[in-house]
Chain A
Amino acid sequence: MARTLLTVPPTAKRGEVIELRTLIAHIMETGFRPDANGQVKPRDLITRFTCRFNGELVCSAELYPAVAANPYLSFTMLATESGTLSFSWEGDNGFSQSESVVLTVT
């Protein structure tokens, strides 16, 4: 399990635009770099990120070798109702992680 840091406001007013920020620990090895012995290190990337709110897609992203280690993504969402935000990251070597946060809209 990789460490993540999620910034989600615990409450929001209806109709408010909220900013969601995610950070995940991942080496994002490009597959192009040689190691100390000259052998090319195998690629190990997060390739896809998705954020869903009550099952509905909020934001998704495809990540490529140019993305730095520990990818940080931030995006906005219109708060309309209370529900659960679920974040998921998928990548090479079967990497998969998901987190969820409850958002209360008043």
Chain B
Amino acid sequence: MKRWAAALSVVACCLNATAQPDPRRSGFDDMSPQTQAMQRDDMQNPAMLTVQDGAALWERAPSASAKACSGCHGTAATSMRGVATRYPAFDNTLKKPIDLSQRINQCRERRQQSAPFAPESAELLALESYVALQSRGMPIAPPADPRLQAPRARGEALYRQRIGQLDLSCAQCHDERAGGRLGGSLIPQGHANGYPLYRLEWQAVGSLQRRLRNCMNGVRAEVPGYGAPEFVELALYLAWRDRGMKLESPAVRP
């Protein structure tokens, strides 16, 4: 009997070893070699210019009476390591999930007593990319907070909901038709593992919300404003869908 158990465990080990490879492909894998080279080399990646701005903002106090980010958090390389992999996360005060940019703005309002940055502003993107950079290469690890269950489920429903005049859901392109082509361009699997990222089409750094708004606009749907709960819920589901994938922020995408 014991021998059987041992044999079974050996079989189980073999089964684990030959487990299916991860079918998920980062957008990086589907880019042209030239664009991949841009992302690999920090001296070619234009998002690193934004990161430099972020590093300067991290050290600069917004007013004479307020501390800089570094005044509380110290060196970002240690204090912010892994932080970006856990967002969106549940906020106890607001009693709702918030994403990383909202967290930065919240800190700015509450701790630094300063006006929050406008969504998608250069400053906010700079700080967000600087914080996200500290988690580069780490696996995306959405928190197992039970309070995130309901919003995540709403995010997933939104992901599968047909929207707009073209009557398309996110899932129809990025799950069912990923790898195919839309016009001349390849349809990626839509993993949000590199935001904020430098998009060649934008010629600028942008957030996940900007990308989502782009897609919604593309299917001619009504686009919610920046910071709308729908975006955070979608981001929650996307983080769950991408769990374990490596964070590439600040990535480059075509």
CB distance from A102 to the nearest CB of B (A): 18
Kindly state whether residue B66 has any CB partner on chain A within 8 Å: no
Say yes or no: B44 contacts A23, CB within 8 Å. Answer: yes
Count of residues in A whose CB is under 8 Å from the partner chain: 15
Say yes or no: A21 contacts B43, CB within 8 Å. Answer: yes
Say yes or no: A25 contacts B46, CB within 8 Å. Answer: yes
CB nearest neighbor in B for A68: B203
CB distance from B56 to the nearest CB of A (A): 9
CB distance from A85 to the nearest CB of B (A): 15
Say yes or no: B48 contacts A69, CB within 8 Å. Answer: no
Say yes or no: B49 contacts A23, CB within 8 Å. Answer: yes
Q: Which residues 44-88 of B sit at the A interface, judged by CB distance below 8 A? A: 44, 46, 48-50, 52-53
Q: Mark A34-77, 1 if CB is under 8 A from B, else 0.
A: 00000000000000000000000000000000001110100000
Q: List 23 A-B contacts (CB under 8 A).
A: A3-B49, A3-B52, A4-B49, A5-B42, A5-B43, A5-B48, A5-B49, A7-B43, A21-B43, A21-B44, A23-B43, A23-B44, A23-B46, A23-B49, A25-B46, A25-B49, A28-B203, A68-B203, A69-B46, A69-B204, A70-B46, A70-B203, A72-B44
